[in-house]
Chains A and B, each alone.
Chain A
Amino acid sequence: MTWYAIDTWIVVVGALAATASALLGNFLVLRKMSMMGDAISHAVLPGLAIAFLVTEARASLTMFIGAAIVGVLTAVFTQWISRFGKVDEGASMGIVFTSLFALGLLLIVQAADHVDLDPGCVLYGAIELTPLDVVWRPKLFGFDLEVPRAALVLGGVTLLNLTFIIGFFKELRITSFDAELATTMGIHSNWMHYLLMTLVAVTSVAAFEAVGSIIVIAMLIVPAATAHLLTDRLWVMLLLSAVFAVASALLGHLSALVVPSWFGFADTSTSGMMAVAAGLLFLLTMLGAPRYGVLAKYFRKAESVGV
């Protein structure tokens, strides 16, 4: 295996996408809305297609806005259906995102007349290609850096999410743990919900344009759930989830390069392996976590039975 500057950039871009998602993911996991990332990632398809049909070009800003709007609409429709129709939240989420996805597929078929817009590209992204799109060449400590566009965009999104979480830490914490208490304290928990959903949509869209949706879906849930097994304090959980996100990105890219060679293959998809790496970290934590781990529980049980 040889490690190029490109590989470093792939890990950096992956780590930024993972951190941005993981930070928000903590609140999704605590609010029992983990599947929202999955729903939004499928549902943005019509937004992309409409923006594309309107502008007739792959201008990324309009597509970004179109997708982000549909992402927020997914959250709004889900809440409407479950509130007015008294439908289980999971079911209403499923109905909304599958319908939007189907609509998106139809629109893309229409758009295909004009320019090739491959749904596969939207869903997988191509993190391997991001370092090729260099937009900024600063000189730092005597090194010529070639900063790819994706790194700048995702760095910006990570900063945005970080600012949001620090700025609204108190409100986010109270609405996530006890929405009714928050309402009695004068915090508008519905607004926090929609603000959070907007950021989830923006992050998802920014990330899967660059790195593919699978990284976002995985990183919105897995690092936060892993951190949840290790601590009861919210800020520790946030910190740990970011650490797990970065670790998954690094391990994921390494294993995408290394593991296939054991079976005689060249290499494989980095985004897929990042999700798998996050899964492995979760599995290890699930078994070995000091208080909430399966092994710790097993030994505690054995001990208490022995006494």
Chain B
Amino acid sequence: MPDFADIWYVLFLRDYNTRLVVICTILLGCACGLMGGFLLLRKRSLMGDMLSHATLPGVGLAFMLAVSLGGNGKSLPILLMGAAFSGVLGCWAVLCIRNHTRIKDDAAMGIVLSVFFGAGVAVLGLIQTMPEGSAAGLESFIYGKTASMVASDFQILVIVTISVLICSLLLFKEFRLLCFDEAFAAALGWPVKFLDVLLLALVTAVTVAGLQAVGLILIIAFLITPAAAARFWTNQLDRMLLLSALIGGASGWLGASLSAFFPRLPAGALIVLVAAVCFVISMLIGTERGVLVRYLHQVQLKGRIGRQHLLRALYEILEGGRSQGELALRPVPFRQIRGRRTWSDAHLRDYIRRAYHEGLVEAPTKDDSIQLTVAGLAEAAHLTRNHRLWELYLIEYADVATSRVDRDADMVEHVLGEKMVAQLESKLQTYRSAGSLVPESPHPIIPGD
């Protein structure tokens, strides 16, 4: 096991051997995280998958071309150029299939991916029979050779990353609209197709640059995982992209450093696993869309609805028993409340306990009866009134109401406006009995047992 000093040494880039690799993967992670964010929002995450597979024939053909022209087949710029060329061709083919046939996005990507990759395998098969060609150098494009990156790889990566960063900053506004409302962007007269192609070209650039660093398959993770993780924390595009780039960079940093301690473990795989851990943590505790947060929201909502149901049930029971005028506060047997709705004993007791803590009901009496307090009656009357206004609104305006139905009873004034509320109340006048602030229910209330 490495001791603390070693860890410190590598993590903070003091070690010459690992410094380059770690910086490369951090840069790559940032760039991929950024582009991945756009891809995720355009629901094109698997485009990276398609792209990285589609580069293989380009790499092989570039190698063969370079060798047959007497050059050095393993020169990185030539191979990358080949990769970029066939990557762009693949993107174009996907868009073509999608736009001109009934084949959907996913199948179009799958077709291009498998056919291009098959062509790549065939080309590699040819190269293996060439006298110059142990395809060994090309294998690194599939599995990555993070640990053996050299200064020239570094230069290419830095150039690509910085140009991608500048491009996406300059076109941030355009890309944002492309992600959220393509049709609106087109209506504004923006060159939507050109922007789409430009975005894919930037993704291609990042993918090709990263191929060699983390390998054909693991670059896919770099394009998807950080962006999907960032999505759990925020609904704002700029923050999400920033976070996604940070998570990508951090995964690259940690993964590459870990692989420096355990030289036998491939860096690409470690980077992907670090990113996956970030994703799982974000999915669980992300503050905006995380599983835990959404669960808590649900529990809260359930409690609020339960409270409303309890108070309304109590009010309606009192209302049903009165003869004239003001409602009299009197204890209501638990069984009678229980019969008003389909709720379990346990849930109902829980709602009553909470209402007691809020000071809305008195402590349960010995014969298991519940009585509203004065404050509780006021709250119950308020809730019941709003609920009935909603009901009337839905009865009278069913044609326009559907978009507004799923609202809290509390929000009636906010959503409908004073004029509408006044109008509804006047409609309810006809039912209204003297002396009550709460209009009667527009429909008969079925009494519980």
Contact = CB atoms under 8 A, between A and B. Distances in A.
A72 B189 CA distance: 47
Interface stretch (B174-182, B263-271, B368-376, B406-414): B263-271
Contact of A229 (B101, B113, B124, B130): B101
Contact of B118 (A29, A105, A267, A272): A272
B103 interface: yes
B111 A35 contact: no
Max chain A Cβ within 10 angstroms of own Cβ: one of B125, B129, B139, B273? B125
B64 to A, nearest CB: 9
Interface stretch (A54-62, A84-92, A135-143, A192-200): A84-92
Nearest to B107: A34
B40 interface: yes
Nearest to B228: A91
Given A34-B106, A95-B279, A260-B126, A103 B232 contact: no
Interface stretch (A150-158, A172-180, A216-224): A216-224
Interface string A218-247: 101110110011000000000000000000
Interface stretch (B43-51, B164-172, B233-241, B437-445): B43-51
A99 B272 contact: yes
Contacts of B283: 81, 84-85, 87
B430 to A, nearest CB: 41
B119 A275 contact: yes
Contacts of B97: 286
Given A35-B49, A85-B291, A99 B276 contact: yes
Q: How large is the interface on A (under 10, 10 to 19, 20 to 34, 35 or more residues)?
A: 35 or more
Interface string A20-45: 00000000010011110110001000
A91 B105 CA distance: 14
Give the interface SS of chain B, mostly helix, strand, loop or mixed.
helix
A217 B139 contact: no
28 contacts: A32-B106, A34-B106, A35-B113, A84-B283, A88-B43, A91-B45, A91-B227, A94-B46, A94-B49, A95-B276, A98-B218, A98-B272, A101-B272, A102-B273, A109-B264, A109-B266, A119-B143, A218-B114, A222-B110, A229-B101, A268-B126, A272-B118, A275-B117, A275-B118, A276-B119, A278-B118, A282-B115, A292-B101
Interface of B: 40, 43-46, 48-49, 97, 100-107, 109-111, 113-115, 117-126, 129-130, 139, 142-143, 217-218, 220-221, 223-225, 227-228, 231-232, 264-266, 268-273, 276, 279, 283, 289, 291
For the complex of A and B, list the 3 residue pairs with the smallest distance between their C-beta atoms, beginning with the closest: A275-B118, A279-B115, A272-B121
Given A85-B289, A221-B111, A225-B103, 12 more contacts: A29-B107, A90-B45, A94-B223, A102-B221, A106-B265, A218-B114, A221-B114, A265-B129, A273-B122, A275-B121, A286-B97, A294-B101
